Amino acid sequence: MTMLNAVALPANGFTYGLVTPALAYTMASLGSAVGLRCAMRAPASQQREQGGWLLLGAVAVGIGIFTMHFVAMVGFSVGDAPIEYDMLTTYGTLVLAVLVSAAALFLVGYRRNLATAFGGGVILGLGVAATHYLGMMGMHVGGAVRYDTRIVGVSVGVAVVVTTIAMWCATKAKHLGASLGAALIMGLAFTGMHYTGMGAMTVRLYSDVGRAGTSSALGTLTPVLIGPVLLLLLITLFVSLDPMMERDGRRKWGSRPGEGTGEKLEWTPFERQ
């Protein structure tokens, strides 16, 4: 194969303008919000249930990372070159995202302090970077792909630093509003890492890359995203029905559970923090 372009083409992540970045950030923030909510729920639960809540949170955060990446990739293009994805590698990024999310949440879920927040942030930040570049390995485009290692390093730094800040905020969060703020910061870390990493990528297209019949990224990736998105929405619905949400609403208005109802007043371990 010979090169079509003497000059490398930059990756275009904005084929549909700001639509895909906005949707990618929404998915990253939603997964983070649900995952952090589960992590907040764990200390208030019985010991045998804590691991379940943290695992559920890890699945939510992992799906958030996965869907963020591939929603963003819907808007990715390099000229008119067709882009294909290896499905084994693609779904491998989902498994990796869930595993690193589990490592981070289990670390901060049982003991919340600066050290665990830092450790969880580093683990999750490096994990997000790893899932991004693993996902890019599963992408096949008709050309030679190159990365600027300096920008790659910056993208990893963005993920680690901003995710660590989000983790620290999450360890201090005791109310729904505070955890949502931490989730928005975490969503920014994931999305910022993705687009910074894409800025490091250039492609030299091969001369025999076909133009006719090029498949749409939207058509290719929609089947990949349907299952994870539906699962995240189901987890979101389940978490939203948790009684802790009602307690947060009461605390927001300055009342304790049971006030005015004759119910026995009792604080959970989480509420005593």
Cα separation, 54 vs 28, whole angstroms: 18
pTM: 0.84
Cα separation, 110 vs 102, whole angstroms: 12
Is pLDDT larger for residue 4 or for residue 221? 221
Categorize the per-residue pLDDT at 225 as very low, low, confident or very high, splitting at 50, 70 and 90: very high
Cα separation, 111 vs 135, whole angstroms: 32
In this structure, of 23-27, 66-70, 170-174, 205-209, the range with the lowest mean pLDDT score is 205-209
Residue 93, pLDDT > 60, answer yes
Sequence-ordered list of residues with C-beta below 8 angstroms from that of 127, at least 6 positions apart, any chain: 65, 96, 97, 99, 100, 101, 103, 104
Q: How long, in residues, is the chain?
A: 273
Cα separation, 217 vs 6, whole angstroms: 26
- Per-residue pLDDT, 2: 53
- Per-residue pLDDT, 170: 84
Q: Where are the domains of the chain?
A: 9-241
- Per-residue pLDDT, 215: 57
Cα separation, 3 vs 136, whole angstroms: 21
